[in-house]
Each structure stands twice: as structure tokens, then as C-alpha cells.
Amino acid sequence: MRRWFKRSALPPPALSRSEPPWLFAVALATTLPHAFTQPFWLTAWAGLCWVWALILWRNDRRLPARWLLLPLALAGALAIRIEFGSFFGREPGVAVLVLFMALKLLEMRQRRDAVVVIMLGYFLLLTHYFEAQDIPTALWMLFALWLVSAALLRLHAGALAVRPVLAQSARLLAQALPLMLIFYLFFPRIPGPLWGLPQDAFSARTGLSESMAPGSIGQLVQNDAIAFRVRFDGPVPPKNRLYWRGPVLTAFDGQRWQSGPVTGGKPVIDAAGEDIAYEMTLEAHGQRWLLALDAPRQLPADARADARLTVLLARPLESRQRFRLSAALDYRFNEEETATSRALNLALPAGFNPRTVALAETWRNTRTPEQIVAAALTHFRTEAFYYTLQPPLLGRDSVDEFLFVSRRGFCEHYAAAFVVLMRAAGIPARVVTGYQGGEINPHDGFLVVRQSDAHAWAEVWLAGRGWVRVDPTAAVAPERIERGLASALPAGEPLPFFMRASNDWLRPLLQRWEALNNAWQQQVLGYDQLRQQALLQRLGLPGGWQTLAWLLAGLSTLGLVLLTTLLLYQKRRTPPEIRLLQHALRRTGVHCAPAESPLALAARLARENPETAQRLAPVIESFVLVRYAPDGREHLATLRAAVAALGRRRTP
């Protein structure tokens, strides 16, 4: 059979002793950020492979045989499959890249193995933004990109010192900055998550859910991650009026509250006074609800309010987004409610919490709905109830045990017990979850609402008044509503790091950092389609992807032409000492061969034309000093004077 190619007789180029350290640095810089997000066993696996390869290189020992690496790779792949349930998706895909990088370090024998490590490094750089997009991540990516590019240069440039390689890599990145800026400004901004495979593009994140059980919000508030930021157009409302409405829970099975079916049409809001306008920057939470200030009035174009006044987006929120909204703090909501909705919000599971039902029935027979609400709040206020993040576990009749035995709970305990009391007394009621309060960052003026501000309250429907907010927590721990969580909990309770009193000296530093990170998110990461279209309008250009495509192509071409011209000019620019020597040779009529050095020229002229050699001697002597002496540039003036002495014609 005819061979279509001929195998090379030369062996593939092997790695030198000085090249593997660059590859170790590439592997460490590109996989280290994933140590905080990948499973512990994978981080330990990668770390052991890295240390093993480093020890083998340091002791100049032979790398393990390929037959040994194959079962290691198969075992790692099987562990990833067991851990994530699939090889497809964001997290398993990153895990596979980390595994490949770790094992490739034990296979670095030839130049092509080093190229594979560097290419893996570039791919891993792209995955850093899957988990975080803050300033430290961006700085680390730039550092890692600089290091990976330097390793690629070192691999192909020969045995150069470390400093010149790093300097050349920095120059290459600096030359790429204009093109990067052009792509940042004019590449079409596509809405949606950075990663879009169906398996995990819409996975849930930390935050509220569509269900609530005793202790669920208590666990959430121990996380001080930022849920959203708000900038008001006018004065910031008082903290006790900042209720950020989220999922409304109507279905109760005796243990857990669920969202339940939504009945009714568009909500009817009768607002009093002027609306409060604000802009919200909401962190991705993987759900459809938008946490709007109660009661929401003006909504974004792709959002709607359902019959329970929960604002829903058209699709799950998978990336940080800004929204313009307005709210009415004084309002009436659904004064006329359907019979189906009232019945749904009166339902209780049979056979649960008999003591609570009995207490509510004593109120039902002797009091009006308003008096029943007041009686329940008075019960919470006057009895020995405690507000705590560490309540005891509750059994089957959780509301009975809470109201009559433990009397210790967090906001979800009080809201759930209040709603059960109201329903048992014949008043439609439901649980509303969301966030309450927030803290102004004095460095940028944004109201910061954290996961630790998560809250649950109740709503009751009263004839002629509609749905009325009632917060039982305010009856037990009013400090929670007025001043925040830290002031309401007793000493010794577990608090998020940001709320601890011992961090008072650290709080201003953290606030400055959060303000800086917020500016990064608002101005850099927040450059979306709307801002891009606004930029095009300021430039007097029509919107649309066609305009962006032509503009991007034109600016990129112009930038490349300018950069190429600059590089060619620098390459072809003749040094001044060369120009002076060429001018001196033209004056004296001497021809110098292309491969003839100045000293060889002087020796030839001394034999062939001593007079001309004597005239050119000062020029050649000065040229040699300028060209080769350590302080050569200091002799440039002497060279100019020697050339000028050859005649009266002007020197260059």
C-alpha cells in the first residue's frame, strides 16, 4: 500500500531541564482558583500529582510509565462521573480539565507535551469567570494569562533568562489591550448566563426558595453574601418600611409551607402618596422572582406581578442584572378578593396543631378580625417568647410545640404560627418571604441587602382593606425591624461575619472594598445591551448587530494596521550610528561589502588607500565605541563630530 506521508526519522524534541518549572507554574496558576470550588478529593488529587511531578523533576528521576497513567485517568474520570452524575455541564467540565492538567504534568517528556499543558492553561483561564467575576478574579486572570504567555514564549525562544521572557510577555499583552478594548465596547452583548448548557445553566443559587420549614431562613441569614443593591432616586425610606417582597407561600402540610397554586388575575393596588423610584442590581439566584420593594408599581418590561403581588421575570435570573422599579409604601391591595383565593388561604391540614386551633377558635367566636389580629400580636408580645437563631427541633405538631412549649424561634416560626392562628380563626392569611431592611454603604450611597437580611412575615385579608402586612417578629423583637438582626439577637448567637461587633474596626475597610467592587460590577460587568446601544447613539450610529459587526471589523482592522505599521517602522528604523557611518562612507566614496565589519574595512583601506583610511580612522573608532562599548551612547556626539570633520556637507 502506498504511504501518503513519510514518518520522520528524527525523534520529537525533548524538554530541557529549565523548561518544566514554567509548566509547573502554569498548572498552579490556572488550577489554584478551582481549589475553592471543586470537590476536596479532586483538589487533593491535583495537588498530589503536582507535587509528585515536581519531586521527580527536582531529583532528575524518570517520569511514570504511560501504562500507569491510564488507570489513574480512568479512576479520576469515574470519580468525576460519580460526583457530578455526568461528564457534561459546567462543573464536571471544569473538573475534567483540572484532572487532565494534573495528569499531564506526569507526562512531560517532549515539546508537544509542554504545548498541551499551555493550551490546557488557556482553557482553564476561561473557566475562572464561571464561579466569580469580581476584581480579584480579574486580576488573577491577568496574572495567569501573563504567566501562561511567558511560558509559551520560553518554550519557543530558547534558553532565555526569566526577566526578558516576562518582559516580552508583558509587552505582548500591552499590545493586545487596544484590540481587547474594541471587542469589549463593540462586540454584541448577548443576554443570558456565561455558561448555557441546560444541565446546569439554571441551577439554583444561595437565596430564598419556594418552600419554608422551621429553621430554613435561620440557616440562610448566617450567610452575609450580598443579595442585591439598591440606589434610590430620592431619600432612602426608613428601615422599618423596607420590605422586599419575594415568594408568597399559601400551601401548608403541617410541616412545610409551599408556594401553592396562584388564583386570580392582575393585582389591584390602590396607592396613596407618591411612588418611590429606585434602581436595583440583583445578584443571580437562579429563580424567576424579582425582589421588589412592597408594594411594586412600575415594573421592568420583561416582568409581571402575579395575583399574590410577587414580581416574576420572563426567565430565571442567571446573571447579575439591573432593574428600574417604583413602589408605593402606603397602599391597599386587592380589596376585592375571589372566593377561591380566600378559601385557599384558609386551608389547614386536618389533625395538626390542635392546641393552636383551639386557641384561635376562642378568639373567633368573640372578636372581629381586626381584634383577632391584635390578640395574636399581644400574645406574642406579652408571653415569654424568645427570638433566636438556635431554636429546638420541633415535632409533628410544630406550631403547637412552638407556641406552648419551646417559645423560641426565628422569623419563620413566628410568621408560620401567626398564619395558622389566623386561618384557624377564619381569617385568610399567608406567609410572605423576602428581605427586610438593608444597610447604606457610606462610600457609594447604595443600600446593600444581604442574605442575612432574609425575613418572613404574614399577610391577612380583611374586608374593606384587602391584604394587610402583619409582621409578628416586630411584636417579639422590634429591634430586628428597626435596627437590624444583630441588635435583636441575644449575646452569644451565631452571627454572619459582617455583623459581629468585634468587626467594627474592619467594617469601614469592608465597606470600601464592597464600594469598589460595586463600581466594577456597575461600570465594567454591567456594560450590557442598553449601555452599548446608548454608546452607539452618542456616536451617531444606528443600533443593531449589523452596525456592531461592521464597526467591530473596521476598528479591529484599523488597530491591526496601526500596530503592524508601528512594528515595521521600529524594525526598519536604522540606528543613528549606522546612518552616520553610511554618510561618512558616501562622502569619502568608499564602498563597504555587506558582510564586511568596520574594523575589517579599516584594515583593507590601510592596505589599499592609506590616505582615506587615515581620514576615516576617527569615524570608525568612534563608531566601534558607540556600537560595542558599555557606555556607547555617550560617544555618539564624538562620532557626529568626526563625520562632520570629513567635509562641510550637513550630517543627518
- Active centre residues (catalytic): 411, 455, 471
Do 39 and 96 meet the contact criterion of CB atoms below 8 Å apart? no
The alpha carbon dihedral of 595, 597, 603, 609 has a sign of positive
CA dihedral 639, 645, 649, 652 (to 10 degrees): 10
Cell of 324: 428600574
Q: Where are the alpha helices (DSSP H) in 383-506?
A: 398-401, 411-424, 472-476, 478-482, 485-488
In the numeric block, the cell 391584604 is attached to 467
Report the distance separating Cα 304 and Cα 302, nearest Å.
Answer: 7
Q: Tell me the C-alpha distance between 531 and 325, whole Å.
A: 18
Q: Which amino acid, residue 30?
A: T
The answer to whether 14 and 109 are in contact (CB under 8 A) is yes
For 67, 249, 389, the CA distances from 214, given in Å and listed in that order, are 54, 14, 11
Burial class of 35 by CB neighbour count within 10 A (0 to 12, 13 to 18, 19+): middle
Q: Please state the length of the chain.
A: 652
Cβ atoms of 424 and 280 within 8 Å: the answer is no
Output the DSSP codes for 118-135: HHHHHHHHHHGGGT--SH
Contact in structure between 481 and 471 (CB atoms under 8 Å): yes
The separation between CA 94 and the C-alpha centre of its own chain, rounded to angstroms, equals 16
The answer to whether the Cα torsion of 514, 515, 516, 521 is positive or negative is positive
Helix (H) / strand (E) element for 162: namely helix 162-186
Cell, residue 310: 410577587
**467 - beta bridge partners?**
461
The partner residues of 248 in beta bridges, in order of sequence, read 432
Q: 259: Cβ–Cβ under 8 A, 6 or more apart, which residues?
A: 210, 211, 247, 248, 249, 250, 251
Q: Which H or E element spans position 304?
A: strand 303-305
- Measured between alpha carbons, how far is 215 from 209 in angstroms, rounded to an integer? 13
Dist. CA 58–CA 71, nearest whole Å = 25
CB-side neighbour CA atoms (13 Å) of 514: 25
The DSSP line for 179-248 is: HHHHHHHHSPPPPS-S---TTTTT---SS--SEE-TTHHHHHTT---EEEEEEESSPPPPGGG-EEEEEE
Q: What is d(CA 237, CA 143) in angstroms, rounded to the nearest whole number? A: 43
Assess contact for 202 and 89: CB atoms under 8 A.
no
